[in-house]
Amino acid sequence: MLKSIWFIVNIALLKGCFAETPETYLLKSHSLPPDLNFMPTLGNGHLGYTVFGDAIFMNGVYNGAGGNSKRARIPNWLNISSEVCDRFGCASGEDVEVNGTSYEMDLRDGYFRERTTYRKLGFTVEQRTYTHKFYNRALVYEVVVTRLDSRNTRANAPKFLKLTQYPGNSSDAFDFVLVSNGSSSSGDYRTLRGRTKVLEFEKFQTDPQEIFVLFSQSLEQPLQVQWPTWQEQLSYSIIITMDRDESVARKELQDVLKLSSRTLLQKHTESWNSFWDNEFSIELKGDALELSQIVNAGIFYLVSSLPSINTNQKNEPFYGLSPTGLGRGNLEADYQGHNFWDTEIWMLPVVTQFGLEYAKQVLDYRHRKLEAAKYHANATGYKGARFPWESAYTGTEVTNPCCPEVAQQEIHISPDISFALQRFYSQSLDKEWACNTAWPIAAEVAKFLVSRASCDDSQNMCHFLKVMGPDEDHPDVNDNVYTNAVSKIALDFAEWLGPMCGNTSTELFERWRELSDRLLILQDEVLNYHPQHQGYILNTTVKQADTILLGYPLRFDISSTHLNDLRFYANATRESGPAMTWSMFSANYLVSRQDKLANEYFERGYKSYVRPEFKVWSETPLGYEGSANFLTGIGGFLQTLIFGYGGLDFGRVGDQFSMIIRRTLTPPNVDEIHINSIPYEDAKCSFTIRFQSSEIVCWDRFGPGFQMVQDQRRTFLGRSFNFTHRNEDPPIEISFLR
């Protein structure tokens, strides 16, 4: 068996195996963020951590009862520091010249690197850390030291590497016990077994969760690795693997240790490069370096919380996307790693563009937790399925005890999920998935909405009373217009989907149609706008995007009423609102052809929210407290780029689902946006967005071909086509011949 120490004869050989990273994918700084929460978060959908942080988290592993449930913190044993020492002592910061240390996040290759040059002492130290994208149970730390000048007497003095772990305090979530204290050289590995201490909800979790942690090398005490004077370079790696199944973690470690450090890194970078080249990337042309880096970083941080599609061993079921990702989650600022409406409304539309399989794994979490949602509806006095405002391992309500009104009143999450199911089907056109996954959820959500509504037969009107919309500054209101609108969409989708999936219950469908028809949508006829809820007074401050969402993403109302909504609520939304709010104003202004305002709000949506060093997003603008690695804000920002400026949509008109191309625009200083891959059923499309036109290229290898509808004219396009749409032309609808 290979030992965990590998020597590299020529470091140039290692560097020569990898192409130079383009500037748009390389985030380099000579200083760290003042707040280390804004260091990069790395992950692979199974494991995640924040660089220099004290915690590792595993997909779906939570500890705590009810609202006290949070991601179970595993000490960050990968947080390792390396020092080069000799008989004179260890190199220190005093030996480093100004800007002698660089910190780099390589987004294209998927790893973080710290490089320090000790020029007077005659060597460099490069430390790398990453969650492996292919061997996704593995976390990797590697240090490479290189002599600069063989003539330097001090450089040639006998040296050793001193490796020290800084994992943080013991975990309050696990009871860890030592299973084995072996080492790779003896054919065994240091192994810990951890069991969570507190069940989330006993009805749906009978036993604690159990994980196994295996180490290629124990670092309980600082480790010393000798660096012979004849050796130009020295490389040393620490591998940690984790899984619920000890045999899976063991096989992963064994498979990894068969590889050289060069090959191990190469397998990782190949997986990331394949994603950028074949699955999804956005290229901006123009004077847009910083914006390009922000776009690429946003995609990277979002993908890092998703399961890898191709892995060494089969993935476990996925437990959803939380607002700050898999690498965070044991703090209130991280929303304890819970799932919210953020998943379906803010992140999923972008995740779907990465590939349909990514989106299916996200939505499968909701399908697996349907029974818990039905239990929640029944326990709160209703029928059907009521998805909790916050969910984690069991799928039951885990909202923080601080805020019971949020759990009781934000009922819009259930129709939000139905809306997301419809939006995904519009793009995937996967009937088997729709009937097996979407229909059971959509039907039970519709039943819940019927049981939750209050109807007044004398006025032939229905209401949702005592609710809270996305604007959490206004609890206990009636007829929040967003809640009612998205509920109408959910009811309509369930009614449409039922017959396609073989359900013939006309009585059920009529009940859903009746509620949809009678559900009140507030509108002020004098001012021609939608009051956010009953009794809303114009110019009352609101927290975030709420009513304006009736335009995009709901496409419920894009009339002059919606334009007035934008005008009124733009002046009423508080400045400390979350990042995605301004992105949604931008997307909606683009729909309403208010291009100057769209550009202003687009820039407002990221410039005050992205920290400069590693383009990590904050929930709130500089000067306000908020979450770090805010994937929700990234999702809103990327949606505006793809669907707002891109004019792209997937939707249902009657019984026909189509890809819809409307007018396009480019953000300030951007001449062109190129998206290399958009999935559409089994087809792949590329999309190029220019200021006054767009070009779409699609290829469907096995299908019957595409047709285009424009101004009622139908045109057969074949199995592949290249079409340019100009802004002065009517919108086009592209669908499959069936």
Rounded to the nearest 5 percent, the helix, strand and coil shares of the chain are 35, 25, 40
Is residue 78 helix, strand or coil?
A: coil
Of 492, 521, 550, the residue at which a domain comes to its end is 521
Domain count within the chain: 4
Same domain, 167 and 38: yes
Report the candidate in 637, 650, 640 with the shortest Cα–Cα distance to residue 731: 650
| CA pair distance 304, 281, nearest whole angstrom | 14
- In sequence order, what are the residues at sequence separation of 6 or more whose Cβ sits closer than 8 angstroms to the Cβ of residue 180? 188, 189, 190, 191
pLDDT along the chain (738 residues), means of 10: 31 49 96 95 98 97 97 97 88 84 97 93 93 98 88 68 93 94 72 98 97 91 88 93 98 96 96 97 97 98 97 97 95 92 98 98 98 98 98 97 94 98 97 98 98 94 98 97 98 96 91 97 97 97 97 95 96 93 97 95 96 96 87 98 96 85 95 97 95 93 87 91 93 89
Report the candidate in 472, 419, 423, 480 with the shortest Cα–Cα distance to residue 578: 472
Residue 192 located in a structural domain: yes
**pLDDT at site 11:** 34
| CA pair distance 141, 238, nearest whole angstrom | 5
| CA pair distance 377, 32, nearest whole angstrom | 47
Dmax of the chain from CA atoms?
Answer: 96
Tokens for 403, please give them. Answer: 């805020």
**pLDDT at site 551:** 97
Strand-pairing partners, residue 243, are 212
Same domain, 664 and 591: no
| CA pair distance 259, 55, nearest whole angstrom | 27
Whether the Cβ atoms of residue 22 and residue 103 lie closer than 8 Å to each other: no
Whether the Cβ atoms of residue 426 and residue 650 lie closer than 8 Å to each other: yes
Same domain, 416 and 528: no
**pLDDT at site 65:** 97
Residue 327 located in a structural domain: no
**pLDDT at site 328:** 96
Same domain, 626 and 533: yes
Same domain, 573 and 489: no
**pLDDT at site 15:** 40
Tokens for 169, please give them. Answer: 């305090």
Looking up tokens 């019971």, which residue turns up? 404
Report the candidate in 579, 546, 548, 592 with the shortest Cα–Cα distance to residue 566: 548
Output phi, psi for 460, to 5 deg: 50, 50
Whether the Cβ atoms of residue 130 and residue 111 lie closer than 8 Å to each other: yes
Q: Count the alpha carbons within 13 Å of 696 in the hemisphere toward its beta carbon.
A: 27
Same domain, 567 and 594: yes
Same domain, 483 and 549: no
Residue 646 located in a structural domain: no
Whether the Cβ atoms of residue 482 and residue 550 lie closer than 8 Å to each other: yes
Strand-pairing partners, residue 235, are 6, 144
Residue 649 located in a structural domain: no
**pLDDT at site 155:** 60
- CATH number of the CATH domain containing 44: 2.70.98.40
- CATH number of the CATH domain containing 492: 1.50.10.10
DSSP state of 642: I
Structural domain including 167 reads: 5-271
Whether the Cβ atoms of residue 324 and residue 148 lie closer than 8 Å to each other: no
Of 226, 243, 271, the residue at which a domain comes to its end is 271
Residue 590 located in a structural domain: yes
Residue 323 located in a structural domain: no
Same domain, 544 and 442: no
| CA pair distance 223, 64, nearest whole angstrom | 35
**pLDDT at site 184:** 54
Helices (H), 50-176: 153-156
Q: Which contacts of 314-317 are long-range, i.e. CB under 8 A and separated by 24 or more positions?
A: 315/45, 315/46, 315/136, 315/361, 316/46, 316/59, 316/60, 316/243, 316/244, 317/60, 317/364, 317/365, 317/368
| CA pair distance 191, 90, nearest whole angstrom | 31
| CA pair distance 469, 479, nearest whole angstrom | 9
Residue 27 located in a structural domain: yes
| CA pair distance 369, 375, nearest whole angstrom | 10
| CA pair distance 444, 668, nearest whole angstrom | 45
**pLDDT at site 712:** 86
Q: What's the one-letter identity of residue 115?
A: R
Is residue 376 helix, strand or coil?
A: helix
Tokens for 214, please give them. Answer: 């295996």
Element (H, E) at 235: strand 233-243
Same domain, 529 and 481: no
Sign of CA dihedral 390, 394, 400, 401: positive
Of 606, 640, 674, the residue at which a domain comes to its end is 640
**pLDDT at site 150:** 60
**pTM given for the model:** 0.95
| CA pair distance 295, 617, nearest whole angstrom | 11
Cβ count near 40 (within 10 Å) = 27
**pLDDT at site 14:** 40
Same domain, 89 and 176: yes
3-state secondary structure 80-95: EEEEEEECCEECCHHH
Same domain, 592 and 669: no
Residue 647 located in a structural domain: no
- In sequence order, what are the residues at sequence separation of 6 or more whose Cβ sits closer than 8 angstroms to the Cβ of residue 78? 49, 56, 129, 139, 140, 141, 238, 240
| CA pair distance 393, 68, nearest whole angstrom | 12
**pLDDT at site 229:** 85
Same domain, 447 and 392: yes
β-pairing verdict for 233-243 and 454-456: unpaired
Cβ count near 554 (within 10 Å) = 18
Rg (CA), the chain: 27
Report the candidate in 455, 410, 359 with the shortest Cα–Cα distance to residue 546: 410
Looking up tokens 């032309």, which residue turns up? 729
Beta strands in 434-543 (DSSP E): 454-456, 461-463
Cβ count near 229 (within 10 Å) = 11
